Amino acid sequence: MWIRTVIGVICCLVGAVWIAQGTNVMHGSGMSGHGGWAWLGAIVLLIGVAILLRDRRPRRG
């Protein structure tokens, strides 16, 4: 169960970095300034949030 939390946090961090690079907030990469990376980062960030929220729900059974 903790592995899902780790994966969710990693997805959130990677997504945030990709958004920052895609919107040219973070410089120094080939990804900097390319809007496609910002969109992909937003998707990865949302997946990470969904994993974290799903892991926080009480279990049935």
> How confident is the model over 15-54, as pLDDT tens digits?
999 999 999 998 887 878 888 999 999 999 999 999 999 9
Helix count and strand count (H, E) for the chain: 2, 0
Measure the CA–CA gap between 59 and 47, rounded to whole angstroms: 20
The pLDDT of residue 26 is: 85
- pTM for the model stands at 0.84
pLDDT, residue 61, reads 60
